[in-house]
Amino acid sequence: MTTLKNDRFLRALLREPVDTTPVWMMRQAGRYLPEYRATRAAAGDFLSLCKNQDFACEVTLQPLRRYELDAAILFSDILTVPDALGLGLYFETGEGPKFHKTVRTEQDVANLPKINAKSDLDYVMNAVTAIRSALGGQVPLIGFSGSPWTLATYMVEGGSSKDFRFTKNMMYAQPEVMHALLAHLADAVTDYLNAQIDAGAQAVQIFDSWGGALAHREYIEFSLNYMQRIVSGLQREKDGRKIPVILFTKGGGQWLEPMIATGADAFGLDWTTNLQTARQTAAGRAALQGNLDPATLYGSPASIAKATKAMLDDAYANGEKTGYVANLGHGITQWVDPENPRAFIDTVHEYSAKYL
């Protein structure tokens, strides 16, 4: 077993002592990097990039060559599970992901197959193993999945949506059908994440990108309850190390208290949440991750450093010395100057030392 040279990310998630605040960026391997765009062009299209382990490994490592990041995250897509369920994922230029089939009726849900992640999504597991090997213990590798609710929105709508018309129609008019779909997805995601852990992922994150579109009671019933089901079914230790679990609901900071009750180790926050208040709410029971507005990276290095310092001041205002991972509040955008993230990352490492 390769010794992990930099484990501060894992230590912070488990609220263990760290020498400086760990930092990574959601969507850190992406279109803002010219080397990523070149690799994607070589692959031919986005799905080919995801499904080729060599390409997936290459783009995962690219940001680590540029920046002093404390974690790598598997390069893949949250919609691999619905694709494995036979819905036919494809991407329209300028329109994002779409499916050839939708799931809108009780019969549609009943027709969904039960997947075996290790065989039906073997290209993901091959990529995890290849990336873990290529990292050589440099930093930990994060695996991930979309949440059941988020995956369901794409499956029911047939792609992205602004109002979730068909999804919310099912949820309110036929809640039993929605629950059946979410239960099926929770089982699939549990199997998927456990397969990633077996393949080499050292932490996992569940991306609940659209949980924030729900009303309070519906968020608990239709999103959080199914993430809790996943957390309860995950392998939490491998090769003598704990496997931390992070939940991230975009627009979900107001639900931090019930989130903590799921038993996950850490919770991602977007930029709408007051980080100091969130740390007070968590009260040492869980780690937090976030929450710089990704648009901050459009600014100058000086303005990025100022915003980063303010975020760190909030994170450590209560005197805590660990249990915090610096990150953006959502994915880095394609329009960011690739020189700008360095100001964020370096400021995190240099400025946070005074608190630790």
- 246 - beta bridge partners? 205, 266
240-251 pLDDT, tens digit each: 999 999 999 999
User: Which pLDDT belongs to residue 189?
Assistant: 98
Is there a binding annotation on residue 154?
Answer: yes
CA distances 19 to 157, 243, 275, 351, Å, are 46, 20, 21, 12
Indicate whether 337 belongs to any domain: yes
Q: How far apart are CA 204 and CA 105, in angstroms?
A: 31
Secondary structure element (H or E) that encloses residue 148, with its range: helix 148-157
Indicate whether 2 belongs to any domain: no
User: Which pLDDT belongs to residue 96?
Assistant: 86
Indicate whether 318 belongs to any domain: yes
What is the arithmetic mean of pLDDT over 76-105? 93
Q: What are phi and psi of 18, to 5 degrees?
A: -135, 155
Is there a binding annotation on residue 209?
Answer: yes
Residue 2: pLDDT over 90: no
User: Which pLDDT belongs to residue 56?
Assistant: 98
Residues annotated as catalytic are: 27, 31, 40, 77, 154
Considering only CA atoms, which of 70, 76, 75 is closest in space to residue 24?
A: 70
Query: In degrees, to the nearest 5, what angle opens at C-alpha 288 toward C-alphas 59 and 69?
Result: 30
Indicate whether 1 belongs to any domain: no
The pLDDT mean for the chain works out to 97
Binning pLDDT at 50, 70 and 90, where does residue 1 land? low
Query: For 1, what's the count of Cα atoms within 13 Å in the CB-facing half-sphere?
Result: 8
Indicate whether 342 belongs to any domain: yes
Indicate whether 237 belongs to any domain: yes
| Structural tokens at position 49 | 């990039």
8 Å CB contact between 211 and 252: yes
Largest CA distance in the chain: 58
Residue 94: pLDDT over 80: no
Q: How far apart are CA 338 and CA 67, in angstroms?
A: 10
User: How many other CB atoms are found less than 10 A from the CB of residue 270?
Assistant: 20
8 Å CB contact between 103 and 69: no
311-344 pLDDT, tens digit each: 999 999 999 999 999 999 999 999 999 999 999 9
8-65 pLDDT, tens digit each: 999 999 999 999 999 999 999 999 999 999 999 999 999 999 999 999 999 999 999 9
Q: How far apart are CA 246 and CA 275, in angstroms?
A: 16
Query: pTM for the full model?
Result: 0.97
Indicate whether 261 belongs to any domain: yes
Is there a binding annotation on residue 28?
Answer: yes
Q: How far apart are CA 110 and CA 179, in angstroms?
A: 12
Residue 252: pLDDT over 60: yes
| Structural tokens at position 337 | 């100057």
141-159 pLDDT, tens digit each: 999 999 999 999 999 999 9
What is the arithmetic mean of pLDDT over 188-195? 98
User: Which pLDDT belongs to residue 93?
Assistant: 75
75-84 pLDDT, tens digit each: 999 999 999 9
DSSP string computed for 294-344: GGGGGS-HHHHHHHHHHHHHHHTTT---SSEEEEESSPPPTTS-TTHHHHH
Q: How far apart are CA 37 and CA 46, in angstroms?
A: 10
Total of domains in the chain: 1
8 Å CB contact between 253 and 208: no
Considering only CA atoms, which of 152, 130, 153, 303 is closest in space to residue 200?
A: 130
Is there a binding annotation on residue 165?
Answer: no
* Domain encompassing residue 322: 8-355
CATH number of the domain enclosing 95 = 3.20.20.210
Q: How far apart are CA 141 and CA 202, in angstroms?
A: 5
Indicate whether 3 belongs to any domain: no
Question: Three-state DSSP class for 34?
Answer: helix
